[in-house]
Structure 1
Amino acid sequence: MHPILQGLILGFIIVLPGMSGGTVFVILGIYENVIKDLVKLNIKPYIPLMLGAIVGIFLGAMAFAVFFENHRDATAAFLLGCLLASIKPVLRNCPKVNSKRMIILAIGFIIGYYLVGEPISVVTANEEVSWVILFIGGAIASAVMIIPGLPGSSVLILFGIYDSLLFYIKELDIINLAIFGIGGVIGIFSLVKLLERLYSKHRGLISYSFAGLILGSSRALLPYRMDIIILILFVLGFAVVWRWSGKE
């Protein structure tokens, strides 16, 4: 498969909450090479993939921004299903549940629940996000995204900037996107190896806490109303991520 096409697939997928970029790399058979080359700052072979990913992210984000603006509850229900289904790959091959891990999960849930605040709604031009939050959110989300099973978009929901980024992409807000992008590049090159080592050594701790964060942060995508269409879209989003994550 051509690297540009691989990038398009990667970019479109990672826009969905619950979808892990690292999982895509594993499925494409390039994960180990990507990690090794990132550590060595060898990015030349991945320029076509990165260009494809940028196009994929813009196409995916613009589509969801339009849907979110015109069909908030339907889009939120679909994304909520995606987010909750991501708990499957997060806890894959982890130690079995015990009291200690349940406490860790509960702490993660509480932090996630109070961190996201109220359910996200349609963003307007008057709602600005701090550049510091954009930078830090980009750095952490990008680094987390590289680890298989950990969804980077979930970090954006935790920081309360997922909907804002959809709006910035739709409106082509170059300044805010550049701040986020700079944070993302720095995060990938400076944090990914550290996160990979921590994840390898403390997989259970990180996975259960992350699962709790996902559960708690899911309140951000709660629909304001419920009907059969909303329920169907929730199930569809859940099924997409559940099936995709099983491919790993």
Structure 2
Amino acid sequence: MEQIIKGFILGFIIVMPGMSGGTVFVIFGIYENLIKDLVKLNIKPYIPLLIGSIAGIFMGAFAFAAVFETYRDATVAFLLGCLLASIRSVLKSCPGVNAKRLTALAVGFIAGYYMVGDPISIVNAGEDVNWLVLFIGGAFASAAMIIPGIPGSSVLIVLGIYDSILYYIKEVAMVPLTIFAAGSAVGILALVNTLAKLYDKHRGIISYFFAGLILGSSRALLPNNYGLTVLITFVLGFSMVWYFSGKEQ
């Protein structure tokens, strides 16, 4: 039961941009064993965690989709705060700045800015997403999620499908969700070890590039109107992720 509860917390958290699944695993104290077992394809001990995660993802997605429709600006302001605060966690392990890292930051910003589409909105998310984009999005989001400090949902924002995934979950659209889930399984089982090794070898460049992606893609989370409620929800999202990012230490 404890693993199911932890999985539920994990699933609910990773729906929010800026929240790293890897950081949650570190907080739970299972990160190192999880990576070792995934490399060996030993997933049986984590089935209760997976069940809880699926439940948490659905509950989190339903919650965000519901408030999106009624309180779009306040919701994106909250998510924008979450996303921007995650830069602390992304750059925490490599604070030094040099020309290569600044170049990676700039390249990431440009890529993130031009890769995202229109500002996210559940109301306009009903259009079909190419199945290959869904599969790739699931693979890279799940693989990135395992690395502490890297928020997997940010990958979905960069690809412009974050709101579509929330919409599919809300509508229980099984075909696109199955394609996305298949990509996620491939990402966790096949890509996580490779990405973890690349991250360890080129931590500085990758971290600054990803920070740039986050900054550039944040334009997808800009409110249409600004006011006190939008400011409060932005500060709330920023403060929450900033606090939990510090927990990784």
Which TM-score tier does this pair reach, normalised by the shorter chain? over 0.9
Say if 1:22 and 1:145, in contact at 8 Å, map to a contact too: yes
Distance of 1:147 and 1:223 partners within structure 2 = 29
Distance 1:232 1:126, change over 3 A: closer
How large is the RMSD of aligned CA atoms in angstroms? 1.1
Distance of 1:203 and 1:10 partners within structure 2 = 24
SS of the residue 2:41 aligns to: coil
Q: Say if 2:28 is the partner of 1:31.
A: no
Shift of residue 104, structure 1, vs aligned partner? 1.2
Distance of 1:231 and 1:140 partners within structure 2 = 31
The letter of the residue matching 2:96 is: K
Per-residue CA distance 1:134-169 (angstroms, 9 max, x = gap): 000000000000000000000000010100010000
Distance 1:126 1:229, change over 3 A: closer
Q: Percent identity?
A: 69
Distance 1:93 1:124, change over 3 A: closer
Distance of 1:144 and 1:193 partners within structure 2 = 11
Partner of 2:163: 163
- 5 Å-filtered alignment, 1:85-164, equals 85-124=85-124, 126-164=126-164
Say if 2:7 and 2:50, in contact at 8 Å, map to a contact too: yes
Q: Say if 2:53 is the partner of 1:66.
A: no
Per-residue CA distance 1:109-134 (angstroms, 9 max, x = gap): 00000000221123457511111100
Partner of 1:175: 175
The letter of the residue matching 2:25 is: F
SS of the residue 2:230 aligns to: helix
Partner of 1:221: 221
The letter of the residue matching 2:71 is: H
Per-residue CA distance 1:92-118 (angstroms, 9 max, x = gap): 120411232112101110000000022
The letter of the residue matching 2:147 is: I
The letter of the residue matching 1:192 is: V
SS of the residue 2:48 aligns to: helix
Shift of residue 63, structure 1, vs aligned partner? 0.1
Shift of residue 6, structure 1, vs aligned partner? 0.7
Per-residue CA distance 1:186-228 (angstroms, 9 max, x = gap): 1110000000000000000000000000000000000011001
Q: Which runs of 5+ in 2 are unaligned?
A: none
Shift of residue 69, structure 1, vs aligned partner? 1.1
Per-residue CA distance 1:24-50 (angstroms, 9 max, x = gap): 000000001100111111111000000
Partner of 1:205: 205
- Normalising by structure 1, report the TM-score: 0.98
Partner of 1:190: 190
- Normalising by structure 2, report the TM-score: 0.97
Distance 1:101 1:145, change over 3 A: same
Q: Which runs of 5+ in 1 are unaligned?
A: none
The letter of the residue matching 1:143 is: A
Distance 1:92 1:174, change over 3 A: same
Distance of 2:156 and 2:125 partners within structure 1 = 19
Per-residue CA distance 1:29-85 (angstroms, 9 max, x = gap): 000110011111111100000000000000001000001111111100000000000
The letter of the residue matching 1:96 is: G
